[in-house]
Homo-oligomer: A and B are copies of this chain.
Amino acid sequence: MERAEDPIPHRLRVLPSRLVNQVATSANRLVDQALAGPGLRRYHYSLLAALEEFGPASQAALGRRTGIDRSDIVATVNELAERGLVERSPDPDDRRRNVITVTPAGVRQLAELDRLLSGAQDELLAALTRAEREQLIGLLTRVADHHGAPQ
């Protein structure tokens, strides 16, 4: 028979940490689908966004601004550079640093990603009214801010 839709344990159903993870999983599924078109991942978007908003930056600065680990920045920049979306050049003023710059193609790509991601957000929050979305965003922001930087 097994017609019964396999109930989820009550404990899990109402556990906030689990609820938030379920929503995050849905969010990631939608976002990953959206980014799959251009063949990119969330890390790529984060980096492009940071570059476009704050201009050329060192890899370390990009890491601090996006919360991505330095070591993961390396690979992500490599991939963006391979696609011609950013350029990596040594900083003449500080020879430890690389300066990462968005290319015009990168700016165009970012605009496209913004469009795709906006659609994903709408899908994610489709069950909520405009006001409820604002409410949710507000509450999440407060929780996120309260915990701040990891560790």
- Chain B residues within an 8 Å CB radius of A133: 16
The answer to the question of A1 belonging to the interface, with a C-beta cut-off of 8 Å to chain B, is: no
8 Å CB contacts to B: which residues of A46-89? 46, 49-50, 52-54, 61, 64-67
Taking chain A's interface residues, is the majority helix, strand, or loop, or is none over half, making it mixed?
Answer: helix
Copies in the complex: 2
How many whole Å from A57's CB to the nearest CB in chain B? 10
Contact B6 A144 (CB under 8 A): no
The residue of chain B having its C-beta at the shortest distance from the C-beta of A16 within the complex is B121
Partner of A17, one of B15, B19, B30, B147: B30
The answer to the question of A105 belonging to the interface, with a C-beta cut-off of 8 Å to chain B, is: no
Give CA–CA (A15, B67) in the complex, Å.
Answer: 15
The answer to the question of A112 belonging to the interface, with a C-beta cut-off of 8 Å to chain B, is: no
- Chain B residues within an 8 Å CB radius of A139: 128, 132, 135-136, 139
Known contacts A11-B53, A12-B50, A17-B30, then 13 further A-B pairs from the complex at CB < 8 Å, ordered by chain A residue: A15-B117, A16-B125, A16-B133, A16-B136, A17-B28, A17-B117, A17-B121, A20-B24, A23-B143, A26-B147, A124-B143, A132-B139, A136-B140
